[in-house]
Structure 1
């Protein structure tokens, strides 16, 4: 019996490679030939799994959406049961994520490469909208007087922090966002009696 580690399925190798390359170099800068070479699959295998590069891009964005939402939910849960602290917990996690996401937000980067109405742009807009709605739900649970406005403000802070990481300001932006988030949450959500 072989003790060599089992190789991941071709689809996973392609998607893992796409996630790394698209985030690091940009989607348009990475050609199909490079994706094939670095994932170690044959051209026919890539096209069997993903009929076009646009299909790879869509799968990449959906995977990033899943990762980001899991990170946000974990951060909220780690902050405890108080929804006010869960909202603030997003910014504790953002501080850690900003150090790792030195190339900014994968979705903002993708939106910059694609025109409105394209599949990648639509997936990006849907992602931003669904994250904002989830934050709005937390804001409502926290007793925000205007959950929609607070959610918009907090998600703009998140996006701004991630954008600032792209220009080397991760620590400053994350610290400023945390302070601003605390002030916004405290002002919008009355403390429990």
Structure 2
């Protein structure tokens, strides 16, 4: 079921106008929040007509679902690239490094999935279901890397690291990104040391 929720809605490459709408939504939703950005602004900044927007999406909720699925694909592709050489420790460290770089990025506004979940509090809502599916996928992928690394409790360790990452993403946005990054680094280093023990 998780894979179904995260799968793209179309098998063909998107039309250029649809891609522009999605790229605009990604930027605006990430920078300003989903609920604050209206359809008229999306249309204007995407440089499409209202008819084109409705042809491709029909409603804002379908665009939000594509936005979350697209964010998932970006993270999944990046994780696959990190793990491509089969070195689980290098992949875990690369994931940490990418997260630390994100915490330090100018304009960082927190984790897109946590922010989306906050805007869609009903767990039964389709958007929230995709967020949950992404988080389940991420924890499972991290657990698999930790298992490959030799961790005795890879599922538990992955859960700990997912929550540590959540805290670092929120803490960096709301407070001190340096302290958040240092705390996250300690959590990842502990998990790696446990796997080596």
TM-score, structure 2 as length reference: 0.85
Partners of 2:103 and 2:81 in 1: CA distance: 16
Instruction: State which of 83, 91, 103 in structure 1 corresponds to 2:88.
Output: 83
What SS class does the counterpart of residue 102 from structure 1 fall into? coil
Match of residue 186 from structure 2: 179
Note the 1:130-149 alignment, pairs <5 A. Answer: 130-149=137-156
The aligned residue for residue 24 of structure 2 is 17
Structure 1 moving runs of 4+ over 4 Å:
none
| Aligned residue runs from structure 1 range 31-110, under 5 A | 31-77=38-84, 81-100=86-105, 102-110=108-116
TM-score normalised per structure 1: 0.87
Shift of 1:183: 1.4
Q: State the 1:81 CA deviation.
A: 4.5
1:28 matched to 2:70: no
Question: Shift in Å at residue 110 of structure 1?
Answer: 0.5
CA–CA separation in structure 1 for the residues paired with 2:47 and 2:158: 42
Q: Shift of residue 119 of structure 1?
A: 1.2
Q: CA deviation at 1:146?
A: 0.9
In the TM superposition, residue 167 of structure 1 has moved relative to its aligned partner by: 1.2
Total equivalences in the alignment: 181
Residue 173 of structure 1 aligns to a residue whose secondary structure is: helix
SS class of match (2:104): helix
Q: Which runs of 5+ in 1 are unaligned?
A: 1-7
Larger radius of gyration: 1
Paired residues for 1:112-191 under 5 Å: 112-114=118-120, 115-187=122-194, 189-191=195-197
**Would the alpha carbon gap of residues 62 and 161 (structure 1) be closer, same or farther in structure 2, given more than 3 Å must change?**
same
Asked if 1 retains the 8 angstrom alpha-carbon contact of 2:28 and 2:37, the reply is: yes
CA-to-aligned-CA distance 1:107-138 (integer Å, 9 cap, x gap): 10000011211111111000000000001111
Q: Which runs of 5+ in 2 are unaligned?
A: 1-14
Checking the alignment, whether the CA contact within 8 Å between 1:72 and 1:93 is kept in structure 2 is: no
Q: Distance in 1 between matches of 2:118 and 2:179?
A: 24
